[in-house]
Homo-oligomer: A and B are copies of this chain.
Amino acid sequence: MIEQEEEIRKKLAEKGYRLTKQRQVVLEVLRGTQSHPNADWIYQEVRKRMPNVSLGTIYRTLNVLKDAGLIQELNYGSSSRRYDGKVTSHYHITCIKCGRVMDIDLPPFVELEHRAEAVTGFKVTGHRLEFYGICPECYSSLKR
């Protein structure tokens, strides 16, 4: 399930980074949650295993992991950036009541990029699609 340590080391090395204990733990924390946490939440989790880690290291680590293609950054919407241990392209939906972010099980709509390319003249390299709505829990509490 979890990517081999050597695989991770290799991806880091390609960008000139080393594999450190801190980077390993951040990655494990991110892969071990369904939530899409921000730096501070990750910091609290990592501290449980490494009490001396600093928030600055968390930020630096997240940028390194992102640069190495090991994690994904989801910074649209809220005031702080959120991270995702999944790197395969997929969409998210945010609950406008409780702020929860969920993965959406839909394949990427590549045809959207073709249409954008045709209309703009840009060489389109990617897209981001974010849905907003009310989650089942919040929806039922609205009716109560």
Q: Closest B-chain residue to A81, C-beta based?
A: B79
Interface of chain A residues 89 through 137 with chain B (CB within 8 A)? 91, 93, 95-96, 102, 104-106, 109, 112-113, 115-117, 119-136
B123:A132 contact, CB within 8 angstroms: no
Give the 8 A-B CB pairs with smallest separation, nearest first: A76-B76, A122-B133, A124-B133, A123-B134, A126-B132, A116-B131, A128-B130, A127-B131
Known: A75-B76, A112-B131. 5 other contacts (CB 8 A): A96-B125, A102-B122, A104-B116, A127-B129, A128-B128
Residues of B within 8 A of A124 (CB): 93, 131-133
Interface size class of A (residues with CB under 8 A): 35 or more
A139 at the interface (CB under 8 A from B): yes
